[in-house]
Structure 1
C-alpha cells in the first residue's frame, strides 16, 4: 500500500469512527426517549436496562451507518480540498478517482459487513428485543406498576402508595380504576389496604390479589332525574383476584413496526416465508372465486315451466315463465343473495388486502438488507465529490449538506415503503426508490468534481437575469435621452 493510500485511509477511518460513535450515541438517546415510559419509574435494575438498550442497538445501525459514511466522506475530502492537498495531488498527476480508490475498497468491505449485519445480527437482536419486552413484566411483575402514580396496565389504571418485598410484589394502599369497554369513563373503582402480585414466567397472566377492600361502581339510570337516587353501588370483600393480561403491556404502534415478525428473519427465511404466504394468498383467492361462482346460481328447488322448444322459442324474459308468486320468491332470493355476496366480497377483500400488505412488508424487509449495503456506496459517492467541490471540512457546512441529503434519503425511503405496503407500488420500487432518485446526484457530483466544476455555475443561473436587467436599463436610458 502506498503512502498516499495509507494517509487517505487513516484520515477517513479516524473521521468515520468519530462520527459513527457520536451519531450512535445520539440515536441511542432517541431510543431511550421513545421507550422512556417503559423504563422510568418501573424499579428496573441496571442489568435489565442495559439488556434493553443492547437489544435495541442493532436496529439503529441502518440509520447511523449511511449517515456516518456520508458525513465522514464530506469532512475528509473537504479538509483535503480546503488545505490544498488535492491541488498538490492533481499537480502530481493524481486524479480524484485514484485518490478514492483505496476508500472504495474499504466501502466495499463495509458494505459486505453491513449486509451480514442486517441479515444475521439485526434479526436475532429484533427477536431478543421483542421477547425481552414481553417477558420483562413476567420476570419482574412489579415493574408494571409504578409507586405513587397511576399506571396504565391493560384494562386497568392502578396506583399503589408503597411497594415492598424482594421483588416489590407486595403492595400497600391500592387504588384501581377499571376501564369501560363502551366509553372512556371509569365507572368502577376498587380500593384495598394491601395486595400482592403473582406471576409465572410460563404464563402471560399476571394475578393481582387484593385484601380487605371495597368495590364502587357508578350506576347510570335510564332517567337523568333518578341519578341522585342511585349514585353508586358499594361492596366489601376480604379477598379478590384480578387477572391482568401481560400482552396488553407490550402493544406496539403499527406505525413503528416494532412487533412485526419480518424483522426477525434473514434472507433465506424471508424467501421461504414469502413463498408460503404467496401460495396461501393464491389458494384463498381461488377458493373464494369458486365459492362465489357456486353462490350466484339459482337454487335447484324452484319449479320451472316446461317449454316445448319445437313449437315455441325460449323467451328473452325468463321471469315470464313463472307465476307472480314465484316471481316474487325469485326476486326476494336474488336480492338476498346479492346482499350476502356483497358483504362476503367486502369482508374477503379486506382480509386479502391485509394479507397482501403482510407480503409487501416481508418483501420490503428482504430488499432493505440489500439497500443498506448499497446505501454505503451511494453516500460515499455523494459525500466524497461533494466535499471536494465545497472545499470545506470540519463540522460546519459539511454537517448542513449531510443532514439535508440524509433527510432527503430517509424521507424518500420511508415514503416508498409506506406506499408499497399499501400496494401503491411494487415493494421493489418502494425499497429502492431513494437509491434510484439519489444515484443520478452521485453521478453528477462525481463528474463535476472530476472535471473541477463547481457545485453550481452561478454564471449560468444569473445570465438570464442579467440579460433582462440589461434590456430594461437600455430602454430606460433611451427613453431618458428622448426627453
Structure 2
C-alpha cells in the first residue's frame, strides 16, 4: 500500500467515523427529547431505557450507514478537489482508476462491517429496540395482525381464529381442521383458545370436535379442555418485525417454515433477507457515485457537491422505499425490488465516473 493509498484511506475511514460519532448522539438526544414523556408516563425502568438506546444506536446506525458513508466521501473528497490535491495526483501520472483504488479498499472494509452487523448484530438490536417501542412508546398499539388470522401449520393442518389478544395470549373463535390428502378427518372448534404457561398447555373453552370415520360422524364436546398442540401461541400471528430480529440462518429457516404454512406476507420476510445482502453492495455503489460527483473542482465548492450528493441520497432512499412497498403489498418480486434501485444507481455511478475521468 503506497503513501497515496494510506492517505486517502485514512481520510475515508476517519471522516466516516467522525460523522457517525457526531450524528448518532444527536439522533439519540432528539429521540429522547421526543419520547421522554411517554417513558415517564409508562414507567419505563432506567436499565431498559439504557438498553433501548444501546439497541437504538446499532439499529439506526445500520440504517444510516450508507448515507453517512456517501456524505463523508463527498465531504473529504470535495476538500481534496478544492485544495487542488486531486489535480496534482492525476498530473503526476496516476490514472483515475488507480486514484479510485483506496476508495474501493475503504468500501470493502465498511461493506464487511455492514455485512456482519446486518446478518448477526442488528437482529439482536432490532429485537430490543422494537420490544421497548411497543411496550413503552406505543403502548396499546398492536405489533401484529390481530383479526381474521388464517395459518397453514403443515401439509395437513389449517388453523383459524377471528381475533387474537397477544397480551393475554388468547384467541377467539378458534378452528383447527386436519386433512388427509383432500379428505377432512376431523375439525376442532372452540369459543377461545388460551395458552396456560404454568402448565405449558392450551385451554379450549366450549370445545367441540367432529371426527369423520368410516362414513360416520363422531361428535365430542366439553365445556373446557386442556390439551397440547404442535404449534406455539405466537405462531398464530408473528410480530410485524419478526424477520428483523433473526440472524441470517434463523431467517432462512423462518422463511422456509412460513412458505410451508402458506403465509400471505412471505414477501415481507424475503425482502428483509435480500436487503441484508444488498446493503454491503450499496457501499461500493455509493462510494463510486460520491467520488465521481466530488472529485471535480466546481465554482460552488463543497456546498454544490453536498447539495447534489444529498439529492442523490434522497432519490436512492425514495427508490428503495417505493420498490420495497411494492414487494410487500402488491406481489412484486422481492429480489427485483432490491436489484432495481441498486442496478439503476450502479449504472448512474459508471456514467458519472466516465464523465469525471474526462
- Give the TM-score, by structure 1 length: 0.50
1:60-79 to 2 correspondences below 5 Å:
60-79=60-79
Q: Which moved more, 1:442-451 or 1:382-391?
A: 382-391
CA shift, 1:30, in A, is 5.0
2: CA distance between counterparts of 1:55 and 1:424? 32
- Which of 327, 336, 358 is the equivalent residue of 1:429? 336
Q: Indicate the residue corresponding to 2:14 in structure 1.
A: 14
Cα pair distance change 1:89/1:278, threshold 3 Å: same
Q: Is the 8 A contact 1:130 1:259 kept in 2?
A: no
CA shift, 1:392, in A, is 7.4
Counterpart check, 1:278 vs 2:286: no
Q: Is the 8 A contact 1:78 1:392 kept in 2?
A: no
CA shift, 1:153, in A, is 6.2
2: CA distance between counterparts of 1:440 and 1:81? 24
Q: Indicate the residue corresponding to 2:291 in structure 1.
A: 384
Deviations 1:326-382 (A, max 9, x none): xxxxxxxxxxxxxxxxxxxxxxxxxxxxx33x2001101101111211111111010
User: What secondary structure does 2:295 align onto?
Assistant: helix
2: CA distance between counterparts of 1:266 and 1:51? 19
Cα pair distance change 1:418/1:153, threshold 3 Å: closer
Deviations 1:297-342 (A, max 9, x none): xxxxxxxxxxxxxxxxxxxxxxxxxxxxxxxxxxxxxxxxxxxxxx
CA shift, 1:437, in A, is 1.9
1:279-358 to 2 correspondences below 5 Å:
279-281=260-262, 355-356=263-264, 358=265
Q: Indicate the residue corresponding to 2:311 in structure 1.
A: 404
Q: Unaligned regions of 5+ residues in structure 1, if any?
A: 138-142, 145-151, 155-201, 204-256, 282-354, 452-483
Q: Indicate the residue corresponding to 1:261 in structure 2.
A: 242
Deviations 1:430-473 (A, max 9, x none): 1233212211110011111112xxxxxxxxxxxxxxxxxxxxxx
Q: Is the 8 A contact 1:79 1:391 kept in 2?
A: no
Q: Is the 8 A contact 1:119 1:267 kept in 2?
A: yes
Deviations 1:128-167 (A, max 9, x none): 3344456x67xxxxx99xxxxxxx868xxxxxxxxxxxxx
Cα pair distance change 1:393/1:379, threshold 3 Å: farther
Q: Is the 8 A contact 2:59 2:129 kept in 1?
A: no
2: CA distance between counterparts of 1:64 and 1:407? 12
Counterpart check, 1:96 vs 2:129: no
Cα pair distance change 1:153/1:447, threshold 3 Å: closer
1:437-456 to 2 correspondences below 5 Å:
437-451=344-358
2: CA distance between counterparts of 1:84 and 1:61? 33
1: CA distance between counterparts of 2:244 and 2:33? 22
Task: Output the aligned Cα RMSD.
Answer: 2.9
CA shift, 1:426, in A, is 0.4
2: CA distance between counterparts of 1:258 and 1:407? 29
Q: Is the 8 A contact 2:80 2:86 kept in 1?
A: yes
Deviations 1:251-284 (A, max 9, x none): xxxxxx9842010112222222222222222xxx
Q: Is the 8 A contact 2:119 2:247 kept in 1?
A: yes
Deviations 1:390-437 (A, max 9, x none): 547986333312221111111110111111111341011112332122
Q: Is the 8 A contact 2:111 2:280 kept in 1?
A: yes
Aligned residues between the structures: 264
User: What secondary structure does 2:296 align onto?
Assistant: helix
2: CA distance between counterparts of 1:126 and 1:53? 11
1: CA distance between counterparts of 2:23 and 2:317? 15
Q: Indicate the residue corresponding to 1:365 in structure 2.
A: 272
1: CA distance between counterparts of 2:129 and 2:306? 32
Cα pair distance change 1:64/1:121, threshold 3 Å: same
User: What secondary structure does 1:94 align onto?
Assistant: coil
Q: Is the 8 A contact 1:16 1:68 kept in 2?
A: yes
User: What secondary structure does 2:93 align onto?
Assistant: coil
Q: Indicate the residue corresponding to 2:85 in structure 1.
A: 85
CA shift, 1:28, in A, is 3.0
User: What secondary structure does 1:80 align onto?
Assistant: helix
User: What secondary structure does 1:389 align onto?
Assistant: coil
1: CA distance between counterparts of 2:299 and 2:47? 44
- Give the TM-score, by structure 2 length: 0.66
Q: Indicate the residue corresponding to 1:467 in structure 2.
A: none
User: What secondary structure does 1:51 align onto?
Assistant: helix
